[in-house]
Amino acid sequence: MSQGTAGRVAPKLVATSRQRPLISGDRLFRAIAYGAAALIMLIAAVFIVALFIPALPAITKFGLGFFVSRTWDPVRVQFGALPAIYGTLVTSAIALLIAFPVGMGAALFLAEDARLRLLRGPLSFAIELLAGIPSVVIGLWAFFILTPLMRDNVDPFLKQTLGFLPFFQGSASGYGFLTAGVVLAIMVLPIMIALSRDVIRAVPLALREASLALGATDAETIWSVVLPYARVGITGAVLLSLGRALGETIAVTMVIGNRPEISASLFSNGYTLPSVIANEFTEAVGNVYLGALFYLGLVLVVITIVVNVLARLLVWRFTGSEPTAA
């Protein structure tokens, strides 16, 4: 009797331990995967703290007045973000003004135009190549090739033809808002094109066919059917490009002239948020000076996060999937 019970119990014990060992491989693996997920949350939390800590001396000294002060005077240890914010906005605006029409045209060509189908592959490749070129290389090219070109040809031409506008007055050194804007335009083109192309491709074919069947030309179809339908997604693409333009550092630092100035003239030297940091980090002495640089960094990060989140929401709503290039 007792032996029988033991005989019945023993296999059951073995079976239980085989089904649920102390640490199963599955549980361990799951724990590791969840651990990795927790790690990136931890990194994000540390990231936020890491952006605040070195900026603290400047935050406590200047507070919110930092945003409205035009002074950037390392000698008297007085710092304000206004010139850098101004430069960031102006250069990004120039970049979008140039890149938007060109990028839209190129995206329409890649998504819609059937005539030169053979060219599409190489063109897509060229644009992806541009996306992969390190920004310091673009900066080098801009510094040695584009700046003299702007100084000797483009700027004088603009002065002659549009010189009555305040934007195109004053002496042109080649380094300044306009050159930086052109460089940024080149740098954001790949994202602008890739994202708009995907958005335009996502417009249902039936809409196009309906429009063409009603007798509309290709241009009319694009203008009054495709583009209105894709408007939200294109706005997202533009915002993502803006996010990229706002934060671009090295190439801009090499061509903007690096002077804390607020001037209506686009020929004038200027500064952007990231270029101040990159340019003055090595020479910054003292906690407040360094802190002011990192305060600028904090401002930059907050602005880009807002722009990016907004952009992603728009693109996401539209295509129902994540932006492919970013």
Partner 1 sequence: MSRPMVRILVDRFFGALIAVSVMLAAVPVLVLLLFVVIKGLPGLLTPGFFTDPPFPQGVPGGGVFNAIIGTLVIVGIGSLLAVPIGSLIGIFLSEYGRNQLGDAVRFISDVLTGLPSIAFGIFGYTVVVLTTHHFSAISASIALAVLMLPVILRATESALVLVPQSLREAGLALGAPRWRVTLEIVVPAALGGIVTGGLLAMARAAGETAPLLFTAFGNDIVQTNPFQPMGALALTVFRNALVPYTNLQDQAWAAALLLVMLVATTNILARVYVRRIQR
For residue 245, give every residue at least 6 positions away whose Cβ sits within 8 Å of its Cβ, in sequence order, or none.
Answer: 91, 92, 95, 96, 184, 187, 188
Q: What is the per-residue binding string for partner 1 in 240-279, x denoting contact by CB under 8 A?
A: x--x--xxxxx---x-------------------x--xx-
By CB under 8 A, name the one of 7, 25, 121, 320 that touches partner 1.
25
CB of residue 9 to partner 1, shortest distance in Å: 26
CB of residue 269 to partner 1, shortest distance in Å: 15
Which residues within the stretch 294-323 sit at the binding site for partner 1 (CB under 8 A)?
A: 294, 297, 300-301, 304-305, 307-309, 311-312, 322
Q: Measured in whole angstroms, how far is the alpha carbon of residue 59 from the centre of its chain? A: 26
CB of residue 257 to partner 1, shortest distance in Å: 12
CB of residue 48 to partner 1, shortest distance in Å: 10
With the CA atoms of 235, 191, 301 and 93 taken in that order, what torsion angle do they form, in degrees rounded to the nearest 10? -60
CB of residue 181 to partner 1, shortest distance in Å: 14
Q: Is 9 or 38 the residue whose CB approaches partner 1 more closely?
A: 38
Q: Is 26 in the site for partner 1 (CB under 8 A)?
A: yes
Q: Which stretch binds partner 1 (CB under 8 A): 3-11, 204-212, 263-271, 293-301?
A: 293-301
Q: Is 253 or 265 the residue whose CB approaches partner 1 more closely?
A: 253
Give yes or no for a contact between 275 and 258, defined as CB atoms under 8 angstroms apart: yes
By CB under 8 A, name the one of 29, 73, 148, 231 that touches partner 1.
29
Round to whole Å and give the CA distance between 315 and 298.
Answer: 26
Which residues within the stretch 120-179 sit at the binding site for partner 1 (CB under 8 A)?
A: 123, 126-127, 129-130, 132-141, 143-145
Which residues within the stretch 59-98 sit at the binding site for partner 1 (CB under 8 A)?
A: none
The pair of structure tokens assigned to 293 is: 């640089």
By CB under 8 A, name the one of 8, 18, 115, 117 that touches partner 1.
115
Which residues within the stretch 203-232 sit at the binding site for partner 1 (CB under 8 A)?
A: 217-220, 222-223
For residue 221, give every residue at least 6 positions away whose Cβ sits within 8 Å of its Cβ, in sequence order, or none.
Answer: 208, 211, 212
In the numeric block, the tokens 């804390």 are attached to 260
Q: Is 12 or 115 the residue whose CB approaches partner 1 more closely?
A: 115
Angle, alpha carbons 273-246-172 (nearest 5°) = 70
CB of residue 163 to partner 1, shortest distance in Å: 25
